[in-house]
Amino acid sequence: MIPDWKVVQDYLEILEFPELKGIIFMQTACQAVQHQRGRRQYNKLRNLLKDARHDCVLFANEFQQSCYLPRERGESMEKWQSRSIYNAATWYYHHCQDRMPIVMVTEDDEAIQQYGSETEGVFVISFKSYLDNFWPDLKAAHELCESILQSRRERENESQESHGKEYPEHLPLEVLEAGIKSGRYIQGTLSVNKHRAQIEAFVRLQGASSKDSGLVSDILIHGMKARNRSIHGDVVVVELLPKNEWKGRTTALGENDGEFPSEPMPTGRVVGILQKNWRDYVVTFPSKEEVQSQGKNARKILVIPWDYRIPKIRISTQQAEALQDFRVVVRIDSWESTSMYPSGHFVRVLGRIGDLEGEIATILVENSISVVPFSEAQMCEMPVNTTENPWKVSSEEERERKDLRKTHLVFSIDPRGCEDVDDAFSVRALDNGNLELGVHIADVTHFVASHSYIDIEARTRATTYYLADRRYDMLPSILSADVCSLLGGVDRYAVSIMWELDKTSYEIKEVWYGRTIIRSAYKLFYEAAQELLDGNVDIVDDIPEFGDLDEKSRQAKLEELLWAIRKLTDIARHVRAKRYQCGALELEGVEVRIQLDEKKNIHDLIPKQPLEVHETVAECMILANHWVAKKIWESFPHQALLRRHPPPHQEFFSELRECAKAKGFFIDTRSNKALADSLDNANDPNDPIVNWLLRSMATQAMSNALYFSTGSCAEEEFHHYGLALDKYTHFTSPIRRYSDIIVHRLLMAAISKDKKMEIKEDLFSNKDLEELCRHINNRNRAAQHSQKQSTELFQCMYFKDKDPETEERCISDGVIYSIRTNGVLVFIPRFGIKGAAYLKNKDGLVISCSPDGHSEWKPGSLQRFQNKITSTTTGGESVTFHLFDHVTVRISVQASRCHSDTIRLEIISNKPYMMPDTELFQQSSLLLKSDLVKEVTRSVEEAQLAQEVKVNVIEKDYQKYCQTKGRSLYTLLEEIRDLALLDVSNSYGI
Amino acid sequence: MAGLELLSDQGYRVDGRRAGELRKIQARMGVFAQADGSAYIEQGNTKALAVVYGPHEIRGSRARALPDRALVNCQYSSATFSTGERKRRPHGDRKSCEMGLQLRQTFEAAVLTQLHPRSQIDIYVQVLQADGGTYAACVNAATLAVLDAGIPMRDFVCACSAGFVDGTALADLSHVEEAAGGPQLALALLPSSGQIALLEMDARLHEDHLEQVLEAAAHAARDVHTLLDRVVRQHVQEASILLGD
């Protein structure tokens, strides 16, 4: 099928359907797109061409001798383009020796008439009849086609009757560029305040422009008018307003307009958009009553996006009634200056509002995550491992790889029941008395060839997505849970790093990298490993590998394993100590781990206390990552994929310092070492939560760690702040991260380079790698967001069924961690929920507390100080809330039709909430913690169960929990960000 | 907004060439009867004319005469109608002077000047249409003209430009590609010995890529050599027929 230029321009979205394959794009058509629709559309087309799954090709017809047609005198551009495309189509038909019928699809009726019957075998039809004839079943495509047609008709109508303008026109591009250069305008990315989407938006400055203009902070864009049709995420050009028009940002909570705007900040208005970052938006149709109130324009409907930051979108559809209760995907087409709202078209239905599947699909679409089952072509590349036809080590590989099956005692330590084991260890004494530590990582790249279908798919996904109740794998389960997984007692391919260490000082003497064959002897779980380490041998009965051995050999084997685990721990302690000296941060405290595990691994990862084994494993992973990073950087200084963590800006720490001061601690943030030390000291013995909150605030202040290509960054910037390492990468989890796959390939290439062999791997150039890194970083962010949003979804669903007035579970203890003008932000350690609690309600009443602590609403006023807030009633009673005060809050759910439900908090007492088990409170904090864990787990499990009854997938879900999540210390560190106090995406939140 | 895509994903350049492909080269020798040697060359749309006088006695100030070798005097000019925007002065501006100097350096390296002490060789080059790679076209035209004049040279001097886009080296840049502002390298090569007579580079290019671009330019220069060689042989053949040998 060959689309005409007009079809490519207008129906590209339909051509993107995975069902439509084998499309030949003519160069003429592509160039028309490039010229008339601009870069964005053209890039979409390019991606389509690059995507091997679509089987599309570009035919450079203008460069082909027999296809080129000169444009005739007086012939219009459009005519010439159609003629060229038809001519090329005919040529293509003859080129295939008249065997393959060719369909040329055009929208030009004249062309259909003129060429329709000219050549046999080359059919010229319109796009509509093409869909009708060839894809009668592809309903989605038909619907999309309809809605595109309709929205185009609308646009034409509108342009005729253009009336009063709602927005000023954007300036032409040349003016913008000249303005940016001269410093008159400023370029930046627009981000809308989620909580005041109508009024507040900020422009985050980009690169050089911030230096020139001397502005430190972001620029406030106040109101929709000044925002001038730009949407969250767009790259915009801003003109600063004169100083007397500057406004302050509101610090009040919620909808009621802040009476005390903070001091004025630079304010501007958008004069042009450089790059539109429109994506697919999930929207909800207004309910029936609202539709009627919109009156005569019933065909055009304003739909409300799920994301608060996106303005309402005007679409025209007849299906509004039918789609009442559904979440729908919509795409924005244009936003004319004559229109209040952008206009778009309907794309597809996701699911019912409030339905778990529908809501999850919403989260996926909002984060641009697309998860389709692996296709047949992709599965065909997979190795087979069934009972009839078991997978075996091939003899060629046996020759090429170092065989560690006989010589090394290899074991893995993972959570109980884990099936994707991507790392294993070995320790042994060498003949010269030195020690040899080995880290063995599953050799995924052996099975995933570069540029194979599965590789392309994995690259697109970039990571395994973990939602609260499910996960979407990056690789098919045959690899992730079977052939690549380093299970016990079977032969597996691995990529190994082996260090030779001095026997006493553990100084690294030599390091070896290479492909190996291993057979893991023991698949231990954390608790068992810890028990062994503590010398508690009873646990042996729990390890299946020891099951059917007689007493004697059992004893010998046990001795051997014990020695290895002890040595491993010893080495890890040593390495860690060294890293801490350099200033590595330990940001995850005890509580964090509880919170982490709470949602992720319900069954398995419930440590009674953090085990040393966890840290040992993490340390070995960090060591391996560090050494691999060094190696690939040395071999490929300009195209190695590393991970850096830039040092944070000092000004972001000010809130942390203020908070700490309120408790009488001093936090030194000048270096990572100073920060780590002062955080260790800032420990309130009566309240472990304080330390945790401070740590989480510190994490919040830091920037994200990023993947990058070494060619595009100066060497000083490679540094990893959190781990205090000069070079770091991700190498140890190729099963669930694509970056690790790239690093594996780089390492293999580096090894062959050392051996002076030809480099088999097809490595990315710096530019491609940089683009890939950006993609992976984006996907990681999307994965984090979707995980967080799905957790919130579950929290809401859990509390939704409970009646907040009666249910004991809805009342809990909370800690105030931030003060705003009309309320406080509260963290509830028991559920890991953060939220806002108002001290002044919508009617203007303020909170007051009776002597026994119970609160009620009374008229009065609020007064805010640096780290406390006082509410005074007209009757003269007053109550003060300090930072880090414990209060009792009631949790309820604020239901919302168009958006996600939100948790609402209400302070019902200014005294800490006493749990029924009060006496436990007084006991040692250790006991308290374990109690907390049990409590949380139980409640969450109940929540899960409640959910699962609803969706009837109990069995399946539990299986999914068995997979592991981040064992490296750094992953943990990053995950805290999810739990950090403020919204990541919007630091101006609340 | 849409910047020109110099190298498409399929590996085509704007004018349909592949990365290492040259533009069509057509050349003739002996176009003027009055001059000692002359040649005309077309490289795609770039057209250049070269005329050589000499070796003859030093004209003007005798002081310029060199005791041990011939003085090579080069003048470059480009026609007022050669570029998209009409030029004011055909010659004598800074760019022309620089180009003249570069040509002189190139030919001092190639012509066996020590055979003609205290004499002078004049090379005049005029560009009739400039569509990228003017230096290369001038050198190639001048080589043919010098050969036509029968002045002994070490070897042909073959020149070609090369650029670098998206990790790929492009040979023989056209005007559009030059105007895009990427790195650009001009190379004059003595093909049989592989010696470099002149190498010039504009804009910044990472050291790692230099090798690649240089290789592309050298390869293109060798291709130019085969073409020029053919032109010379054909010219000699025609001349010998005319002379009746």
Which tokens in the block code for residue B230?
Answer: 């053919």
pLDDT at A827: 77
Task: Give a yes or no: residue B17 inside a domain.
Answer: no
Banded model confidence at residue A586, pLDDT cuts 50, 70, 90: low
φ, ψ of residue A460 in degrees (nearest 5): -65, -45
pLDDT at A985: 38
pLDDT at A971: 47
Banded model confidence at residue A804, pLDDT cuts 50, 70, 90: low
Rounded CA separation A847/A853 (Å):
11
Banded model confidence at residue A25, pLDDT cuts 50, 70, 90: confident
pLDDT in tens, A168-193: 778 888 888 888 888 788 888 888 87
Q: Which of A56-65, A201-210, A364-373, B208-217 has the lowest mean pLDDT?
A: A201-210
pLDDT at B190: 94
Instruction: With residue B137 as reference, give the H or E element that holds it.
Output: helix B134-149
Q: What is the dihedral of CA A940, A941, A942, A946, to 10 degrees?
A: 100
Whether residue B12 and residue A35 make contact (CB cut-off 8 A), yes or no, is no
Chain A residues within an 8 Å CB radius of B9: 46, 49-50, 58
> With left for phi above 0 and alpha for psi between -120 and 50, is residue A489 left, alpha or beta?
left
Nearest residue of chain B to residue A177 (CA atoms): B1
More confident residue, A597 or A905: A905
Q: Classify the C-alpha dihedral A173-A174-A177-A183 as positive or negative.
A: negative
Q: Which of A13-17, A285-289, A456-460, B192-196 has the lowest mean pLDDT?
A: A285-289
pLDDT in tens, A542-556: 677 666 667 777 788
Banded model confidence at residue A967, pLDDT cuts 50, 70, 90: very low
Q: What number is the average pLDDT over the span A793-803?
A: 72
Q: Helix A766-800 crosses helix A453-461 at what angle (to 10 degrees)?
A: 60
pLDDT at A962: 36
∠ CA A202-A658-A721, nearest 5°, is: 70
Q: What number is the average pLDDT over the span B119-148?
A: 94
More confident residue, A775 or A882: A775
Whether residue A38 and residue B1 make contact (CB cut-off 8 A), yes or no, is yes
pLDDT at B26: 94
Q: Which of A368-372, A455-459, A747-751 has the lowest mean pLDDT?
A: A368-372
Residue B63, pLDDT above cutoff 80 = yes
Chain B residues within an 8 Å CB radius of A765: 167
pLDDT at B216: 94
Q: What number is the average pLDDT over the span A660-675?
A: 77
Give the other-Cβ count within 10 Å of A24's Cβ.
20
Distance from CA of B2 to the nearest CA of A (A): 5
pLDDT in tens, A813-843: 777 877 777 778 887 766 667 777 777 776 6
Banded model confidence at residue B131, pLDDT cuts 50, 70, 90: very high
Whether residue B1 and residue A173 make contact (CB cut-off 8 A), yes or no, is yes
Chain A residues within an 8 Å CB radius of B12: 60, 63
Which tokens in the block code for residue A132?
Answer: 């009708």
Rounded CA separation A761/A740 (Å):
15
In angstroms, the Cα distances linking A150 to A43, A286, A316, A320, A947 are 25, 20, 7, 14, 41
Chain B residues within an 8 Å CB radius of A63: 12, 16
Q: Are strands B195-202 and B184-190 parallel, antiparallel or unpaired?
A: antiparallel
Distance from CA of B10 to the nearest CA of A (A): 8
Which tokens in the block code for residue A500?
Answer: 């030779």
Give the other-Cβ count within 10 Å of A213's Cβ.
16
Banded model confidence at residue A968, pLDDT cuts 50, 70, 90: very low
Q: Which of B1, B3, B16 lies closest to A60 in CB terms?
A: B16
pLDDT at B135: 94
Whether residue A765 and residue B167 make contact (CB cut-off 8 A), yes or no, is yes
Task: Give a yes or no: residue B235 inside a domain.
Answer: yes
Distance from CA of B106 to the nearest CA of A (A): 35
Q: Which of A35, A42, A60 lies closest to B12 in CB terms?
A: A60
Which tokens in the block code for residue A313?
Answer: 């979108």
Whether residue B1 and residue A35 make contact (CB cut-off 8 A), yes or no, is no
Task: Give a yes or no: residue B15 inside a domain.
Answer: no
Residue B191, pLDDT above cutoff 90 = yes
More confident residue, A547 or B139: B139
Average pLDDT over chain B, rounded to an integer: 91
Q: Helix A654-662 crosses helix A688-701 at what angle (to 10 degrees)?
A: 170
Distance from CA of A827 to the nearest CA of B (A): 47
Instruction: With residue A930 as reference, give the H or E element that holds it.
Output: helix A925-951
Q: What number is the average pLDDT over the span A898-921?
A: 63
Q: Which of A796, A830, A800 is nearest to A935 (CA)?
A: A830
| ipTM computed for the complex | 0.72
pLDDT at A940: 46
Banded model confidence at residue A288, pLDDT cuts 50, 70, 90: low
Q: What number is the average pLDDT over the span B143-159?
A: 94
pLDDT in tens, B7-50: 887 788 888 898 889 999 999 999 999 999 999 999 999 999 99
pLDDT at A249: 67
**Which of A284-293, A384-393, A475-484 is most confident?**
A475-484
Q: What number is the average pLDDT over the span A764-790?
A: 86
**Which of A532-536, A883-887, A928-932, B153-157 is most confident?**
B153-157
Q: Is B122 helix (H, G, I), strand (E, B) or coil?
A: strand
pLDDT at A601: 34
Task: Give a yes or no: residue B212 inside a domain.
Answer: yes
Whether residue A34 and residue B1 make contact (CB cut-off 8 A), yes or no, is no
Q: Is A429 helix (H, G, I), strand (E, B) or coil?
A: strand
Q: Which of A39, A60, A62 lies closest to B1 in CB terms?
A: A39
Is the CB of residue A50 less than 8 Å away from at least one CB of chain B? yes
Residue A779, pLDDT above cutoff 70 = yes
pLDDT at A605: 30
pLDDT at A809: 64
Q: Which of A476-490, A587-601, A726-740, B43-57 has the lowest mean pLDDT?
A: A587-601
Task: Give a yes or no: residue B181 inside a domain.
Answer: yes
Residue A960, pLDDT above cutoff 50 = no
Best of B6, B9, B10, B13 to disrupt the A interface by mutation (most A CBs within 10 Å)?
A: B10
pLDDT at A735: 87
Alpha helices in A801-883 (DSSP H): none
Cis ω for the linkage preceding B55 (within 30 of 0): yes
pLDDT in tens, B67-123: 999 999 999 999 999 988 888 887 778 989 999 999 999 999 999 999 999 999 999
User: Total structural domains in chain B?
Assistant: 1
Residue A936, pLDDT above cutoff 50 = no
More confident residue, A393 or A913: A393
pLDDT at B43: 94
More confident residue, A82 or A602: A82
Chain B residues within an 8 Å CB radius of A9: none
Chain B residues within an 8 Å CB radius of A35: 2
DSSP-assigned letter for residue B2: -
Residue A902, pLDDT above cutoff 80 = no
Rounded CA separation A399/B7 (Å):
43
Is the CB of residue B207 less than 8 Å away from at least one CB of chain A? no
Q: Which of A752, A713, A754, A747 is nearest to A730 (CA)?
A: A747
Task: Give a yes or no: residue B81 inside a domain.
Answer: yes
Distance from CA of A63 to the nearest CA of B (A): 5
pLDDT at B242: 87
Q: What number is the average pLDDT over the span A640-667?
A: 79
Distance from CA of B16 to the nearest CA of A (A): 5
Q: Which of A38, A62, A173 lies closest to B16 in CB terms?
A: A62
Task: Give a yes or no: residue B70 inside a domain.
Answer: yes
Rounded CA separation A686/A480 (Å):
45
Q: What number is the average pLDDT over the span B179-188?
A: 90
Average pLDDT over chain A, rounded to an integer: 75
Residue A647, pLDDT above cutoff 50 = yes
CATH number at residue B46: 3.30.230.70
Percent of all residues in chain A with a pLDDT value above 70, rounded to a whole number:
79
pLDDT at A254: 46
Rounded CA separation A660/A662 (Å):
5
Q: Which of B9, B12, B166 lies closest to A49 in CB terms?
A: B9
Q: Which of A646, A629, A634, A632 is nearest to A716 (CA)?
A: A646
Task: Give a yes or no: residue B63 inside a domain.
Answer: yes
Is the CB of residue A938 less than 8 Å away from at least one CB of chain B? no
Whether residue B208 and residue A638 make contact (CB cut-off 8 A), yes or no, is yes
In sequence order, the 6+-apart residues with CB closer than 8 A to the CB of A104 are: A1, A2, A3, A4, A85, A86, A89, A115, A122, A123, A124, A125
Banded model confidence at residue A289, pLDDT cuts 50, 70, 90: low
Rounded CA separation B184/B163 (Å):
5
Whether residue A58 and residue B16 make contact (CB cut-off 8 A), yes or no, is no
User: Containing domain of residue B125, as a range?
Assistant: 25-243
Question: Tokens 């931030």 belong to which residue?
Answer: A818
